[in-house]
Amino acid sequence: MKLVRYGRPGKEKPGLIDDEGKLRDLSGVIDDIGPEQLSDKAIKKLSKIPHADLPLVRGNPRMGVPVAKVGKFIGIGLNYYDHAEEMGLPIPKEPIVFMKATTCLSGADDPVMLPKGSKKTDWEVELGIIIGTRARYVSEKDAEKHIAGYCVINDLSEREYQFEQGSQWDKGKGCDTFGPVGPWLVTRDEVYQVNKLDLYLELNGKRMQTGSTENMIFSVAQIVSYLSQYMTLEPGDVIATGTPPGVGNARKPKRFLKKGDFLRLGIAGLGEQQQDVIAYQQY
């Protein structure tokens, strides 16, 4: 299934995309798509509902973050062999872990807002993992059982904040709007080869990133297992698994986002995001 949350920010309703690509309303069945709806049992129950019987949603509503009440937003750095190479950095021996503030979460097509005074905001298309059941000290063999599904993430990063203002990556990763997630959560049972998915990102119509999850240094199962040794992963937690080559910081000359830019990015089978880049604004 493709599960979504649609509508105005803070007023999203639960829904799903049916086999014909049409948006169906789930609000008569569940209140929201949050941690309680992400277990295998809950997803199986939803899958048994005749989708054609659900109300059809007209128009083209905004897609919000496909899961509510995200507790943790975790990132993995330098997780593609070809991205580490373009950055001129050694292959990590263990996953590089950082946190993205949950306040940076936004819908797949919401505008990307440049931080106040930012000059080095960069893009990163990434495979996202959404946890379905609690994971604590799980093995690689059992790790995928704890995953509800997968999604597209743009792990936006302010490189000056990340690399030039101390040693903590988190400052450059958690700015408002720096975490577009979605447009939907594709349940685990529909993603057959998660370690062989094509990714892409375009800036103003020009291809910047082309990659495949088969070039990940640490696989999905390795990431979930590794993280569970150091923190309890809860239903609804989101993990960004790293980006392929082609980021602005590695280009010659470097290219960073500016007001008026337009991003389009996606992953095979998981959907596409489109974002206008706007200047900082107080709200």
77 within a domain of the structure (yes/no):
yes
Q: Judge if 131 and 183 occupy the same domain.
A: yes
Q: Judge if 228 and 258 occupy the same domain.
A: yes
Q: Which residue has the higher pLDDT, 220 or 167?
A: 220
Say how many domains are in the chain: 2
62 within a domain of the structure (yes/no):
no
Q: Judge if 34 and 93 occupy the same domain.
A: no
Per-residue tokens: 40: 């295998």
Residues 183, 189, 194, 198: is their CA dihedral positive or negative? negative
Q: Which residue has the higher pLDDT, 179 or 165?
A: 179
Backbone angles phi, psi at 139, to 5 degrees: -85, 165
155 within a domain of the structure (yes/no):
yes
pLDDT in tens, 63-108: 999 999 999 999 999 999 988 888 888 999 999 999 999 999 999 9
Q: Judge if 84 and 146 occupy the same domain.
A: yes
Q: Residue 84: which CATH number? A: 3.90.850.10
**Structural domain of residue 128, as residue ranges?**
73-278
Q: Judge if 93 and 186 occupy the same domain.
A: yes
104 within a domain of the structure (yes/no):
yes
pLDDT on residue 283: 63
Q: What is the mean pLDDT of residues 159-170?
A: 82
65 within a domain of the structure (yes/no):
no
Q: Judge if 84 and 196 occupy the same domain.
A: yes
Q: What is the mean pLDDT of residues 234-258?
A: 96
pTM over the 0.95 mark: yes
Among residues 126, 130, 107, which one has the least CA distance to residue 238?
130
Q: Judge if 45 and 77 occupy the same domain.
A: no
pLDDT in tens, 184-220: 999 999 999 999 999 999 999 999 999 999 999 999 9
Q: Judge if 180 and 245 occupy the same domain.
A: yes
pLDDT on residue 169: 79
Q: Judge if 40 and 163 occupy the same domain.
A: no
DSSP-derived secondary structure for 163-222? IISSS-GGGGT-STT-EEE-S-EEEGGG-S-GGG-EEEEEETTEEEEEEEGGGBSS-HHH
Backbone angles phi, psi at 252, to 5 degrees: -125, 105
Q: Judge if 140 and 184 occupy the same domain.
A: yes
pLDDT on residue 282: 75
Q: Judge if 33 and 80 occupy the same domain.
A: no
pLDDT in tens, 129-163: 999 999 999 999 999 999 999 999 999 999 998 87
40 within a domain of the structure (yes/no):
yes
First to last CA, the chain: 35
